[in-house]
Chains A and B, each alone.
Chain A
Amino acid sequence: MAVVTVDKLSKRYDSSHELAVKDVSFTVANGEFLVLLGPSGCGKSSVLRMIAGLEPITSGTVSIDGRVMNPVPAKDRDIAMVFQSYALYPHMDVYANLAFGLRRRHVTREEIDRRVQGVAAKLGLIPFLRRKPHALSGGQRQRVALGRAIVRDPKVFLFDEPLSNLDAALRVSTRNELIKQQHELGTTTIYVTHDQVEAMTMGDRICIMNRGQVVQVGRPLEVYRSPTDTFVARFLGNPPMNLLRGRLDPAGERTMLRLGDTAFELPGWTPTAFARQTDREVVAGVRPEDLYESPLPGLEARTVLLPVRVITVEPLGPETLLLLSLGGSDEELIARVGRDTALKNGDQTSIALDTAAVSLFDPTTTKVVTRPS
């Protein structure tokens, strides 16, 4: 049980002049599952390694339960880590791998045996206790790596992309297994991944990083629904959010948004919200699932029809993706529609947009324009 606080954490590697991690701050509550999400090289693994004590901290602090951990060596932080490569000791069998961390901590032989057997039973590893890692499948190795972390009963779990070496089917089942174990144990967990599906499904909260900095922290759906900038908007969601150049036209107390040839009213937005958008240029963010082939029944009032030309139709099975060209502009957008669409390549048609679902971003700062409440 522990609260992990990271405060203004920065990291500069010897070989570089630039900071790999810049002023990263967040707090992980007791028993919380926080996912650090970001593209490769965004510094998320560096943050994790600094929390673990495997990497020296350039500036800032890491605290556990209020105690600053910077000078404490990795072995005394009471943290267990699961590595991307699993890092199983190849010359030891599964039992020895599970017991290795306990042996060093002067746990009695009987207690080690009790805990190893307990964890092995929990993870279904009893039949493999005498096998060496090379004789295990990828999924079994993953479970041993997880077991090695669990058996120590640490204050904090750290995961560094633990599922990325598994095939797609195994990844889903192991993901569910991990969520189940974490819920049962209730141990504070920090999980690094570049896979947004893992982040969305596993995390109590997601911390999105880009270029060494925290961009947004929040609950998965909150981050998905209200991205704070265009990076988060494009990074979360597959296909990502459509970002379209638009112009604002104030009309009295109402605000009109022009996309291509079409101008329409944005419900709930007053011109005061755009006081800083002096040149009236904005970037409009639209999720592919907020575009429909025809207006949703009952929502016609807040729906606008955009003239489009179909470029490609991609049937995925449960749904179909349409790549569209917006009338009166050179912009393309993707719509996620039902699987039984009759649209074909080259069709001229119109697509319905739920205007309440539009996010607006400042084109110069890329930050979101806050919707007036």
Chain B
Amino acid sequence: MAQWLAYLRRTPFLLFIVLYTIATGGPFLWVACMSLRTTPEIFANPYDLPTHLHWDKFADAWTTSNYGTYFWNSTIVVVTAVALVTVIGAMAAHCLARYRFRGRRVLRFLILSGMVVPPQLLILSLFQIMLDYRLYNSLTGLMIVYVATQLAMTVYILEGFFAQIPQDLFDAARMDGYSDFEIFWRITLPIGLAAIFTAVTLNFIILWNEFLYAVVLLTDDSKRTLPLGIMHFMGGHQLDVGMIATGLMIAILPVILLYAFFSETMIRGMTAGAVR
């Protein structure tokens, strides 16, 4: 009886979970199905399961539809930007969390205020700056923009975590003879690894899917990143739904892999300090 009541009490919660899973997983499965069907098949019956698995569409997308180039461009820009923003952000976060210096609060406010400025507000001036510095329509330019825009969030995540590392550890390392940079490298970074994985994963997902800056700052087809490449198949007169779906699956794959590997560390990083 009590067992039965317990199930009943949990029903609304379970119902919510089921609906939520359908709402988020459903479209993903639908796109996955479409990625293995041709466009005529999809137009004939959009919700059908694939009758014949067109794996060749992936090879086709990679070569003839240029997804290989887009994928490579995205990889270069995002991996470099994430690496840079992590290193720079971690050093900034370490200083803000560890040292009390004049102007610290102002500096912290300036860096973190970057999180609340909407990108639409920056895009015009950014476009002009990129033109002036001959960085318009270049992957290097986009990479620099990505580092700048993600720095605020990175510092925010890492500073909160680094500030919880007990001061005694740093004092002990100083007594053991280590310099400020060595302390950052040998104490802060390894202990803050969970937070760093969190920052890396979040930044990677955000930048991998980034569209606005890329569409404004890149024009050449050979320089397009994946989100732009996919958009390319949504022309004014043609809409190659099948190819878009295949492109989406190629784009989603690295994110899923990354999340599968780091999700546990990431959740640990985000909830660190919640329970002491």
Contact = CB atoms under 8 A, between A and B. Distances in A.
A90 B191 contact: yes
A17 interface: no
Contacts, number: 55
Given A89-B187, A91-B190, A75 B176 contact: yes
A41 to B, nearest CB: 17
Given A91-B190, A91-B191, A74 B168 contact: no
A104 B166 CA distance: 21
Contact of A85 (B166, B178, B187): B166
Nearest to B170: A87
A83 B190 contact: no
A81 B172 contact: yes
A54 B168 CA distance: 10
A334 to B, nearest CB: 38
A81 B171 contact: yes
A105 B176 CA distance: 8
Contacts of B191: 89-91
A52 interface: yes
A91 B174 CA distance: 17
A341 B172 CA distance: 52
B171 A105 contact: no
Contacts of A125: none
Nearest to B179: A75
Contacts of A81: 171-172, 175
A84 B174 contact: no
A91 B154 CA distance: 22
Interface in B168-220: 168-169, 171-178, 182, 187, 190-191, 193
A23 to B, nearest CB: 25
A62 B182 CA distance: 27
B171 A75 contact: no
A100 B176 contact: yes
A28 interface: no
Contact of A104 (B168, B171, B177, B190): B177
A75 B176 CA distance: 6
Interface residues of B, number: 17
A243 interface: no
Contact of A54 (B175, B178, B193): B175
Pick the most buried of B166, B171, B191, B193: most chain A CB atoms within 10 A of its CB.
Answer: B171
Contacts of B100: 14
Nearest to A158: B175
A323 B175 CA distance: 49
Contacts of A49: 171
Interface in A75-94: 75-76, 79-81, 83-87, 89-91
A91 B173 CA distance: 13
Nearest to A80: B175
Given A90-B191, A91-B190, A75 B166 contact: no
Interface centre among B100, B171, B176 (most CB of A within 10 A): B176
A104 B175 contact: no
Classify the secondary structure of B's interface with A.
Answer: helix
B176 A54 contact: no
A83 B173 CA distance: 12
B175 A84 contact: no
A75 B168 contact: no
Chain A interface size, under 10 / 10 to 19 / 20 to 34 / 35 or more: 20 to 34
A148 B172 CA distance: 10
A65 B193 CA distance: 42
Contacts of A83: 168, 171-172
A179 B152 CA distance: 51
A75 B190 contact: no
A83 to B, nearest CB: 4
Given A85-B166, A89-B187, A90-B191, A104 B172 contact: no
B225 to A, nearest CB: 36
B120 to A, nearest CB: 42
B253 to A, nearest CB: 32
Given A89-B187, A90-B191, A105 B177 contact: yes
A101 interface: yes
A53 B176 CA distance: 12
A101 B177 contact: yes
Nearest to A154: B175
A73 to B, nearest CB: 8
Contacts of B193: 91
A168 to B, nearest CB: 23
A86, A100, A152: residue with the most chain B Cβ atoms closer than 10 Å: A100
Given A84-B168, A89-B169, A75 B187 contact: no
B177 A87 contact: no
A148 B169 CA distance: 13
B191 to A, nearest CB: 6
Interface string A90-115: 11000000001100110000000000
Contacts of B168: 83-87
A84 B168 CA distance: 9
B176 A101 contact: yes
A5 to B, nearest CB: 20
Centre residue among A54, A81, A87 by max chain B CB count within 10 A: A87
Interface in B84-141: 100
A79 B177 contact: no
A70 B50 CA distance: 78
A75 B175 contact: yes
Contacts of A100: 173, 176
Closest A-B pairs by Cβ, 4 of them: A101-B176, A87-B168, A75-B177, A87-B172
Interface of B: 100, 166, 168-169, 171-178, 182, 187, 190-191, 193
9 contacts: A81-B171, A85-B166, A86-B168, A89-B169, A89-B173, A89-B191, A100-B176, A101-B176, A148-B172
